[in-house]
Amino acid sequence: MPSPAPASENIAAVLSPEGFGLLNSLPVDAATTDQEALDLNLRLRKEGHDPELVTAVVHQARLRAQGTSKLGPFAEHMIFTRAGLEQATRLNIAALHAQRFVGAGFSKVADLGCGLGVDSMAMASLELDVTAVELDETTAAAATVNLMPWPNARVVNTDATTFDLEGFDAVWLDPARRTTSSSGTSRLFDPEAFSPPLSHVEALADRGLPVGVKLGPGIPHESLPANCEAQWVSVNGDVTEVALWFGPLARAGIRRAALVLGTAGSHELTSSTDHDAGASLRGEVPVGDIEGYLYEPDGAVIRAGLVAEALQQVGGHLVDPHIAYFCAPEHVQTPFARAYEVTRVHPYNVKALRMWAKSEGIGILDIKKRGLDVAPEELRKMLLAGVGKKAKRRATLVLTRIGDRRVAIEVTPL
């Protein structure tokens, strides 16, 4: 049974003729900030609209504004729930999901646990026949509105685990991984707490159905089924998902992949084997000194366990077997890691670093860290406490450890 939605998510009020008309009469930028949403709420009430209706409409306007970062102009005409928007697939990634089904030659797909219907929208746009299944009544209503422009898509409000898949070519799932209460939403981490659970996904694949499923990128490698391809995806450095592909939807010879999407285009790093977390500890991945250029792997590369493959491309080595940073003597351009030129290596000593910041006139300090229990914001305040207000120089520190030694690496971003 889904948790009760907040009072502001009164979809019925929004979908009434008055509510829908009022929502669609608002400009796109009517509620881009919380303050604008508050001002809009007060204005609509003064105009005589029902307070409950106004609350629901303004909430939708705020969600539409927030949804543009994921969905672009499509968000301007969609209906959202808070949890649904937080989990919704970015439109460009949904298009990649849909292309898997088209490329495999399928035509009729069941989208189980469709949420707001973004993946179904992408599939329908590529002329796939889509049935979107959603258990939560409020979310199903939103998906119904969102899929109205596509006659080859429909929504069924029922339990995805009992939906009859007879006649479907393939299945896509985006299990609910958040729970909603009156205080907001919270993330679920246990794959068996998802709706539907990961075991149901595996059961479908064991039946011989071609299956694709979107999961949170933090899922442990040991929780991944043995008979699938796992592809982690990042967009502009933000790791958004791991998609598991079974049967004909999986690519031959690929067990793990990191797909990096950004301003430089689309790049992918792959491996045919399972992740071996102990390889670096056994000396199978080169380890060396901090030198030349420091590389910070993309989050998708780290999540996919492909750091060793990334450092091979630049002729690099780890600085510590437990840490994902690696170095190389020369700078080699790679889409799979951000490069920094190493300027100096400082011992991690707050007093000494404070003196360094003061003597160098550091007024703006970027801090990155891996392997140290340090709060960058608090440390930044401490290090810049004695620096004069006229200090304008910018610097970057990378905090990490080399064995038992804690270091602060002064670097210049490239």
Q: What is the DSSP secondary-structure string of 311-331?
A: HHHTT-EESSTT-S-EEESS-
**How many beta carbons lie within 10 A of that of residue 183, not counting itself?**
7
Q: Is 149 helix (H, G, I), strand (E, B) or coil?
A: coil
Query: Is residue 367 a part of any domain in this protein?
Result: yes
Q: In terms of domains, do 105 and 16 share one?
A: no
CA distance 69 to 91: 10
| Type of residue found at 111 | D
Query: Is residue 96 a part of any domain in this protein?
Result: yes
Q: In terms of domains, do 127 and 250 share one?
A: yes
Query: Is residue 144 a part of any domain in this protein?
Result: yes
Phi/psi at 197 (5° precision): -70, 160
CATH number, position 243: 3.40.50.150
Q: In terms of domains, do 303 and 403 share one?
A: no
| Type of residue found at 201 | V
Q: In terms of domains, do 236 and 98 share one?
A: yes
Tell me the pLDDT of the chain (414 aa) as tens digits. Answer: 344 456 568 899 999 999 999 999 999 899 999 999 999 999 999 999 999 999 999 999 999 999 999 999 999 999 999 989 998 999 999 999 999 999 999 999 999 999 999 999 999 999 999 999 999 999 999 999 999 999 999 999 999 999 999 999 999 999 877 666 555 566 767 777 777 788 899 999 999 999 999 999 999 999 899 899 999 999 999 999 999 999 999 999 999 999 999 988 999 999 999 999 899 888 899 999 999 999 999 999 999 999 999 999 999 999 999 999 999 999 999 999 999 999 999 999 999 999 999 999 999 999 999 999 999 999 999 999 988 778 889 999 999 999 999 999 999 999
Domain that holds residue 16: 7-80
The pLDDT, as a whole number, for residue 182 is: 54
According to DSSP, residue 270 is labeled E
Contact assessment for residue 311 and residue 317, using Cβ atoms and an 8 Å cutoff: yes
- Which one, of 100, 91, 180, 173, lies nearest residue 132 by Cα? 173
CA distance 44 to 40: 6
**The whole model's pTM is what?**
0.90
Q: In terms of domains, do 18 and 130 share one?
A: no
Give the tokens for residue 194: 């998802």
pLDDT tens for 182-196 read: 555 667 677 777 777
Q: Of 271, 288, 311, which residue constitutes the final position of a domain? A: 271
Contact assessment for residue 294 and residue 411, using Cβ atoms and an 8 Å cutoff: yes
User: Computed over its alpha carbons, how large is the radius of gyration of the chain?
Assistant: 25
Q: In terms of domains, do 256 and 177 share one?
A: yes
Strand 129-133 and strand 108-112: the pairing is parallel
CA distance 104 to 66: 34
CA neighbours within 13 Å on the CB side: how many for 114?
Answer: 36
**How many beta carbons lie within 10 A of that of residue 113, not counting itself?**
29
Query: Is residue 22 a part of any domain in this protein?
Result: yes
Query: Is residue 112 a part of any domain in this protein?
Result: yes
* Sign of torsion over alpha carbons 232, 80, 147, 171: positive
C-alpha distances (whole Å) from 286 to each of 280, 315, 401 are: 7, 10, 17
Q: In terms of domains, do 156 and 240 share one?
A: yes
Q: In terms of domains, do 364 and 293 share one?
A: no
| Type of residue found at 22 | L
Q: Of 28, 55, 80, which residue constitutes the final position of a domain? A: 80
| Type of residue found at 218 | G
Q: In terms of domains, do 124 and 259 share one?
A: yes
Q: In terms of domains, do 37 and 51 share one?
A: yes
Q: Of 271, 293, 317, which residue constitutes the final position of a domain? A: 271
Counted domains in the chain: 4
CA distance 311 to 292: 14
Query: Is residue 2 a part of any domain in this protein?
Result: no
Contact assessment for residue 106 and residue 210, using Cβ atoms and an 8 Å cutoff: yes
Query: Is residue 1 a part of any domain in this protein?
Result: no
Q: In terms of domains, do 110 and 232 share one?
A: yes
Q: In terms of domains, do 35 and 132 share one?
A: no
The pLDDT, as a whole number, for residue 165 is: 97
Query: Is residue 352 a part of any domain in this protein?
Result: yes
99 torsion bin: left (phi>0), alpha (psi -120 to 50), beta (else): alpha
| Type of residue found at 305 | G
Please, which residues have CB within 8 angstroms of residue 41's CB and are 6 or more apart in sequence?
54, 55, 58
Give the tokens for residue 282: 């056994």
